[in-house]
């Protein structure tokens, strides 16, 4: 019953995390910043905006991106198969990419291209992460992973690689080339408006829930460690975001694949000999 409630309110939890992040970033930049509930106020404003439909496929694909992400989060909370979670998350990203390509805007196409290239960069790391958990637990089931002791030490190099994935998924510097508002004017989101943009806005909240739920798997059955990882990584991600500049998308791919894949392979080879 509790798990079902958490699944239902997952977008709200993500919105609160996003709102808290904006408050923290403002303090790091020595400014007042918005209130904690600003993301929800933004949602209220979007309801009053006129929703323009460029084409039906564009709008439907945006909604499917949000719905699929919600299913992904539900699968994690309910302790389902980690491989299914990763592949469903890939499907949600594909919906967003196809939405970007379904309109004629050059900015939307550039954003979709960058989203696609970022998927190429981080998806192998997510798959290796699932393999790492399997080698330790003998199962891909998230419920089994949660019932075992913390695994952050055995998967430490994959943990480091996953930190880069978090920066990409949350569009944080130096890996925020997929968003890059100064360059591509909103990118893949540019042609969404009104209620249809709300779905993308809530999907962003669900990405926060997704990455931090995956992060909690490193803590296994230790809730205190899981909370500590969340707090520590949350502040680290935002500190790096405020202290670094964006790099180009081709540099993002090179760095993540070279460092992330190297860390992942070293970790998996080490586990295979244990």
Please report, in tens digits, the pLDDT of each residue of the chain (274 residues total). Answer: 788 899 999 999 999 999 999 999 999 988 888 898 999 998 888 777 777 777 888 899 999 999 999 999 999 999 999 999 999 999 999 999 999 999 888 888 888 998 999 999 999 999 999 999 999 999 999 999 999 999 999 999 999 999 999 999 998 888 887 777 666 566 788 888 888 888 998 999 999 999 999 999 999 999 999 999 999 999 999 999 988 888 888 888 999 989 999 999 999 998 887 6
Q: Between 156-169 and 106-137, two packed helices, what is the crossing angle to 10 degrees? A: 160
Q: What angle do CA 54, 249, 15 make, to 5 degrees?
A: 60
Element counts in the chain: helices (H) and strands (E): 13, 0
> What is the domain count for the chain?
1
Q: Which residue segment(s) compose the domain that 249 sits in?
A: 2-272
Contact residues for 67 (Cβ-Cβ < 8 A; gap 6+): none
Query: pTM for this structure?
Result: 0.94
Integer Cα distance of 186 and 74 in angstroms: 28
What is the C-alpha to C-alpha distance for residues 204 and 166, in angstroms, rounded to an integer? Answer: 13
Rounded to an integer, what distance in angstroms lies between the CA atom of residue 202 and that of residue 245? 26
């Amino acid at each position: 019953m509790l798990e079902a409630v958490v699944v239902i309110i997952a977008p709200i939890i993500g919105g609160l995390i996003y709102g808290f992040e904006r408050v923290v970033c403002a303090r790091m930049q020595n400014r007042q910043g918005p209130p904690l509930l600003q993301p929800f106020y933004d949602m209220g404003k979007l309801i009053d905006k006129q929703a323009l439909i460029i084409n039906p496929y564009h709008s439907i694909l945006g909604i499917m991106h949000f719905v699929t992400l919600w299913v992904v989060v539900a699968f994690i909370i309910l302790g389902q198969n980690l491989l299914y979670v990763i592949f469903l998350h890939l499907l949600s990203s594909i919906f967003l990419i196809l939405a970007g390509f379904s309109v004629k805007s050059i900015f939307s196409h550039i954003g979709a291209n960058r989203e696609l290239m970022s998927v190429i960069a981080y998806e192998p790391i997510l798959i290796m992460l699932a393999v790492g958990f399997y080698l330790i637990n003998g199962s891909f089931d998230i419920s089994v992973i949660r019932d075992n002791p913390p695994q952050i030490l055995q998967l430490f190099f994959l943990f480091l690689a996953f930190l880069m994935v978090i920066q990409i998924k949350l569009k944080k510097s130096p890996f925020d080339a997929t968003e890059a508002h100064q360059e591509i004017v909103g990118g893949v989101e540019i042609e969404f408006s009104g209620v249809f943009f709300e779905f993308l806005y809530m999907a962003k909240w669900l990405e926060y829930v997704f990455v931090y739920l995956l992060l909690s798997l490193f803590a296994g059955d230790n809730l205190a460690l899981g909370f500590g990882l969340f707090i520590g990584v949350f502040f680290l991600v935002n500190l790096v975001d405020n202290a670094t500049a964006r790099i180009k998308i081709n540099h993002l791919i090179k760095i993540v694949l070279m460092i992330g894949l190297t860390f992942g392979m070293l970790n998996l080879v080490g586990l295979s000999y244990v």
